[in-house]
Chain A
Amino acid sequence: MPSVLLEYTFYLALLAAAIRIAAPLLFAALGETIAEWAGVVNIGLEGTMLMGAWAAFMGTYYSGSGLVGVAAGMAAGILLTAILGYVCISRGANQVIAGIVINIFAAGTTSLIFRQTFRLTLPSVSSFAPVPIPLLSDLPVLGPVLFRHTLLVYAAFLVVPVCTFIIYRTHFGLCLRAAGEHPAAVDAAGINVVGIRYAATLLCGALAGLGGAALSIGQLNQFTDNLTAGRGFIALAIVLLGRWDPFKVMLGALLFAGADGLQLRLQVIGFAIPREVLGMIPYLLAIFAMAFVVGRLHMPAAMAKPYLRES
């Protein structure tokens, strides 16, 4: 075993990395949480993140501003989920099929435009440097782990209490949960089920797009084909694992980010296990968690079912 594994600095760096890596997953998983409360399952979360990552990169590359990139990422996420919303909410299409289609479409579009624009070059941007929080970042142990991140990382963790507040403490949140549980009752109460579901889906798109931005311009500073590499699927698993509760979703995101950070570090230090096998860890962990930890769920009753008034 490499001696670096015995030093506590390794684990401090790992914790800091877990928080950094969690940010894109967290944004996407929180967006999905909101959509699923309203009864919309966005299997296209992977494609939405990818589209956001791509748009954020392009926006930053051409404007030189990370904020423009973030806005572009969110806008792209919203646009893509608007298509999903139209197909699933207005036209009553099956959400799984629509989600798979969104993923294929996003993978094709981002790759086509990116490769057609940049050909074989691999452009990069640098937009989000770590912003140490004054005083707090000087704390021993906690400082480097918690308070020396980019603005996007802080933002991801701030969205957690915001989501909790929206879902459990606002009128919109109540409508959201009701639309996912018993849409006909919501409709009978004179509230627009379709409007609520669209709002939730577009919010999911904005957050997933932001998650993509946090990955492309917030972490990797570049874009490549299929940059998200399954992170959207893992975010979907995190939502199940966190049982639609933003705080538990955050813990789930940290768990996966920690596993990912660990396997990446083990690859770097040349651990005895081949790097391809280490790379399987996040996916296997997600499957394991879904099978054995998630257990019996009580999910919104109208999950993944369209509500079509006229039919």
Chain B
Amino acid sequence: MSGEQRETILVSQPVVVAPGGGRRLRGLLVPAAAVLGALAVNAVLLLALGVSPFTAYTSMVAGAIGSGQSVSDTLSKTVPIALIALGVGLTFRCGLWNAGGEGQFYAGATGAALAGILIDAPPVILIPLEVLAGVAAGCLTALVPAALKARYNTNEILVTLMLNFVPHLFALYIIQGPLSHGYAAKTVDIHAAGQLPWLVLGGLRLHAGLLFVAAATLGLSVLIERTTFGYRIRAIGSNVFAAEGAGIRVVRTQFVVFLIAGGLGGLSGMIQVAALHHNLLEGMSAGFGFTAIVAALLGRLQPFGVLAASLGFAALVVGGDSMQRTARIENSMVFVIEGLILLFLLGGRIIGRESARTS
């Protein structure tokens, strides 16, 4: 190995996702088994805490899909998780460790809230401005690790992990500052013109953010599978040295991918502000950035797989919140289940398997 390669902290090329072609059934059964295993281990933990797993799981299922309202909630919660997870999946595809979804989300939410509060304009102008502000803020947050990685080969995983705290603190500053709502830990509302409309479909009341998710999933799928840029991403992901040897500009490609992920993270924050809360709210992310990483991995980094996994985790999060209200079981259980699912997948060498041994 040359000295240049040695200087990256995580230079190895992980096969983040085991090759799936021709083994589609196994590709579905194994994650399902991991989910069941995680639920079983979590049940043991609940029993040890004197909580009935049956009560926990039934109240969760009822809360997640039991009524039209809960299905609407689950679909709404899919939006932030899926948008961040799509970006995270894309970065993982080209060997970048982006764990900064939480920060990009708060940056986007803050940017969009500032635009929606400070600017008064008709919807056709204000909503695009909010999108722009949210995406730009998310990109800006991702620009730091992307530029440091490109210029100094700085370890992006640590930079993104630490940058999660900075936009969050900035959002808290805005919430406490002159735009504060007063008593509640949130800002004043954005202008009505800047609020995304609700879509009523049958018994479901959904917000327009779902359209962004559909567009992002399709767009990324086409980008990865049908464009030269997507080919470069896949080439870097399968072997960075071969890609470099084939003349692909790895640093530039990774830089752009990082910004795309940041933009998606920012967009997710913007949508939560414009469609759901209508203000910047303390604790508006229930760990979306971390749930998104789990969803990206469980969805095997394929846009449609990521979307499906995000839907599942949105149900878990919504069910967990409902369980906390109705059964008084703490919703941190959601993270226990998420952690266990991935531990099973890692231990079973389904994801995150390293390709070659070192010698």
Q: Which residues of A does B touch, CB under 8 Å?
A: 41, 43, 46, 83, 86-87, 91-98, 100-109, 111-113, 115-117, 183-184, 225, 229-230, 233-234, 236-237, 240, 274, 276-277, 279-280, 283-284, 286-287, 290-292, 294-299, 301-309, 311
* Best-surrounded residue of A94, A109, A292 (most CB of chain B within 10 A): A94
Q: Is there contact, CB below 8 Å, between A287 and B163?
A: yes
Please give the number of chain B residues whose Cβ is less than 8 angstroms from any Cβ of chain A in the complex: 64
Q: Is there contact, CB below 8 Å, between A112 and B340?
A: no
A-B contacts, 26 listed (Cβ < 8 Å): A43-B161, A87-B346, A93-B347, A93-B351, A93-B353, A93-B354, A101-B294, A103-B290, A104-B338, A107-B290, A108-B334, A108-B335, A113-B45, A230-B161, A274-B173, A274-B176, A276-B169, A276-B170, A286-B162, A287-B144, A287-B148, A290-B158, A294-B154, A297-B7, A299-B9, A302-B358
Residue among B11, B12, B49, B339 making CB contact with A101, cutoff 8 Å: B339
Any A CB within 8 A of the CB of B267: no
Q: Is there contact, CB below 8 Å, between A304 and B336?
A: no
Task: Known A104-B335, A298-B6; judge A237-B343 contact (CB<8 A).
Answer: no
**How far is B28's CA from A106's CA once the two chains are assembled, in angstroms?**
27
**How far is B174's CA from A277's CA once the two chains are assembled, in angstroms?**
11
* Best-surrounded residue of A111, A280, A308, A311 (most CB of chain B within 10 A): A280
* Best-surrounded residue of B51, B159, B161, B333 (most CB of chain A within 10 A): B161
Residues in chain A near residue B358, CB distance under 8 A: 183-184, 301-302, 305-307
**How far is B14's CA from A102's CA once the two chains are assembled, in angstroms?**
18
Interface string of B54-98 (1 = CB under 8 A from A): 000000000000000000000000000000000000000000010
Q: Is there contact, CB below 8 Å, between B352 and A97?
A: yes
Nearest chain A CB to B322's CB is how many angstroms away? 16
Minimum CB distance partner of B176 in chain A: A276
Residues in chain B near residue A96, CB distance under 8 A: 10, 14, 97, 157
Interface string of B159-186 (1 = CB under 8 A from A): 1011111100110110011000000000
Q: Is there contact, CB below 8 Å, between A109 and B45?
A: yes
Q: Which residues of B does A touch, CB under 8 Å?
A: 1, 3, 6-7, 9-12, 14, 16, 45, 49, 51, 97, 99, 144, 148, 152, 154-155, 157-159, 161-166, 169-170, 172-173, 176-177, 287, 290, 293-294, 297, 329-330, 332-340, 342-343, 346-347, 349, 351-354, 356-359
**How far is B3's CA from A298's CA once the two chains are assembled, in angstroms?**
8
Minimum CB distance partner of A294 in chain B: B154
Minimum CB distance partner of A183 in chain B: B358
Q: Is there contact, CB below 8 Å, between B170 and A304?
A: no
Residues in chain A near residue B290, CB distance under 8 A: 100, 103-104, 107
**How far is B353's CA from A306's CA once the two chains are assembled, in angstroms?**
10
Q: Is there contact, CB below 8 Å, between A43 and B163?
A: no
**How far is B334's CA from A115's CA once the two chains are assembled, in angstroms?**
13
Minimum CB distance partner of A301 in chain B: B6
**Which 9 pairs between the two chains have the least Cβ-Cβ distance?**
A108-B335, A105-B339, A111-B332, A276-B173, A94-B352, A108-B336, A94-B14, A97-B352, A184-B359
Chain A at the B interface: SS class:
helix
Q: Is there contact, CB below 8 Å, between A109 and B336?
A: yes
**How far is B12's CA from A301's CA once the two chains are assembled, in angstroms?**
10
Residues in chain A near residue B356, CB distance under 8 A: 311
Nearest chain B CB to A231's CB is how many angstroms away? 11
If A183-B358, A297-B7 are given as contacts, then 19 extra A-B residue pairs at C-beta distance below 8 Å, sorted by A number, are A94-B16, A94-B352, A98-B346, A100-B99, A101-B342, A101-B346, A107-B287, A183-B359, A225-B332, A274-B173, A276-B169, A276-B173, A279-B165, A279-B169, A283-B163, A287-B159, A304-B12, A305-B354, A306-B358
Nearest chain B CB to A259's CB is how many angstroms away? 13
Residue among B11, B166, B340 making CB contact with A280, cutoff 8 Å: B166
Residues in chain B near residue A237, CB distance under 8 A: 158, 162
**How far is B103's CA from A284's CA once the two chains are assembled, in angstroms?**
13
Q: Is there contact, CB below 8 Å, between A41 and B10?
A: yes
Residues in chain B near residue A305, CB distance under 8 A: 12, 354, 357-358
Q: Is there contact, CB below 8 Å, between B148 and A291?
A: yes
